[in-house]
Structure 1
Amino acid sequence: MSFRPGSRIFNAFRPFFRQQRNQSTAAPEQSGFQKLWNSPVGPKTVHFWAPIMKWSIVIAGASDLARPASQLSLNTNAALMTTGLIWTRWCFVIRPKNIFLATVNFFLFLTGATQTTRILMWQRSVKDAESQAQAEGKELKEELKDVAAKVEGKVENAAKS
């Protein structure tokens, strides 16, 4: 019983052994479209269609740039930013590496980071405006007390005379 390559017994177990490539029957060169179509991340796989669908989230986030920051959700945009960051890293760890998915996740991170920054800057400006208004309110309150005291003094003087 022989297990050398070429024997019938070896050929029976061939799926369990490493496949040998016959150099005489090389695959024909594929065109660019055929390479994309037959790629492990091509249009026949979820690795292609998931990023296509995820671009809609990026576009929706980018369209929110036209909305005022007061109408945006900090939690939602922070989650988009974090998700984009985590999945961008993950796209370089998984096999096959999916650069297309990494790209959409990176843009999701950028969109979320931009919106989160806008929201935080708006909240800070509102807080600053409130503290400024409170300080001005205290000044006005003191001025009104002074004016009220002067008026009371004049009224008392007028009553005495």
Structure 2
Amino acid sequence: MSSSRVGFRFLNNARFAFRNASAPFRRPGAQGFRFQSSEAGAAEQQSAFQRMWNSPVGVKTVHFWAPVMKWALVIAGISDFNRPAEKLSLTQNCALMATGAIWTRWCLIIKPRNVLLAAVNFFLGCVGVVQVSRIFMWQRSQTGSSLEAAKELEGEAADSAKAVVDQAENAVKAVGEKTA
């Protein structure tokens, strides 16, 4: 009985080889066994560039080019670190901060999830936070120094008023002494 089983297996293998005569020369996974996916084999065969090109967030889609172009905003914000805080726009930097925070979250929710866009939006939000904090620190320093300047001006005005009053009293005394 064991010899018939071996023969049956041999016969099945021979039939399979006859139907697939070019099997040894075929690409693995091209038209394989019943449960083997031809797409999985093709994905393994692709180069890194082909996988990136054919990806749902690949080079030929807006999911790739939007983050690439948005890096220009991040670079411009970073270059503004050298500008004095009094020349920065608070509303513009608040908008960059809010845009970065909102769209970072959104990029992680949408399908396909776009991690590149989430990263650029995260850095855009960070640049906005840094610039807004610089503007607020500068405004606080100006408020404090303007109060001190106002106190100094008040003191100088009081001193000059006292000097005018003293001069007027001296002039009245001088006129009173001449008439008497």
TM-score (norm 1): 0.79
**Does the alignment pair 1:118 with 2:131?**
no
Q: What CA distance in whole angstroms lies between the structure 1 residues aligned with 2:94 and 2:121?
A: 14
| Structure with the greater alpha carbon radius of gyration | 2
Work out which of the residue numbers 26, 29, 36 in structure 2 matches 1:23.
36
**Does the alignment pair 1:154 with 2:132?**
no
Q: What CA distance in whole angstroms lies between the structure 1 residues aligned with 2:168 and 2:134?
A: 50
1:127-142 correspondence runs (5 A): 127-142=143-158
Deviation for aligned residue 1:71 = 1.5
Q: What CA distance in whole angstroms lies between the structure 2 residues aligned with 1:35 and 1:117?
A: 42
Q: What CA distance in whole angstroms lies between the structure 1 residues aligned with 2:37 and 2:49?
A: 25
Q: What CA distance in whole angstroms lies between the structure 1 residues aligned with 2:114 and 2:94?
A: 24
Q: How many residues of Structure 1 are paired with residues of Structure 2 in the alignment?
A: 141
Secondary structure class of the residue paired with 1:43: coil
Q: Which has the higher contact order (CA 8 A, sep 6+)?
A: 1
Query: 1:51 is matched by which residue type in structure 2?
Result: P
Residues 1:154 and 1:41: Cα distance change in structure 2 (over 3 Å):
same
Secondary structure class of the residue paired with 1:23: coil
Instruction: Name the structure 1 match of 2:28.
Output: none
Deviation for aligned residue 1:60 = 1.2
Deviations, residues 44-82 of structure 1 (Å, cap 9, x unaligned): 111000000111111111111222212211111101100
Structure 1 regions of 5+ residues with no counterpart? Answer: 1-20
Structure 2 regions of 5+ residues with no counterpart? Answer: 1-33
Q: What CA distance in whole angstroms lies between the structure 2 residues aligned with 1:53 and 1:42?
A: 15
Instruction: Name the structure 2 match of 1:82.
Output: 98
RMSD (Å) for aligned C-alpha atoms: 1.8
1:58-77 correspondence runs (5 A): 58-77=74-93
Extract structure 1 runs of 4+ deviating beyond 4 A.
none
Q: What CA distance in whole angstroms lies between the structure 1 residues aligned with 2:37 and 2:142?
A: 74
- Identity over aligned pairs, percent: 50
Deviations, residues 21-41 of structure 1 (Å, cap 9, x unaligned): 841643243332222222211
Residues 1:106 and 1:24: Cα distance change in structure 2 (over 3 Å):
closer
TM-score (norm 2): 0.71
Q: What CA distance in whole angstroms lies between the structure 1 residues aligned with 2:148 and 2:55?
A: 61
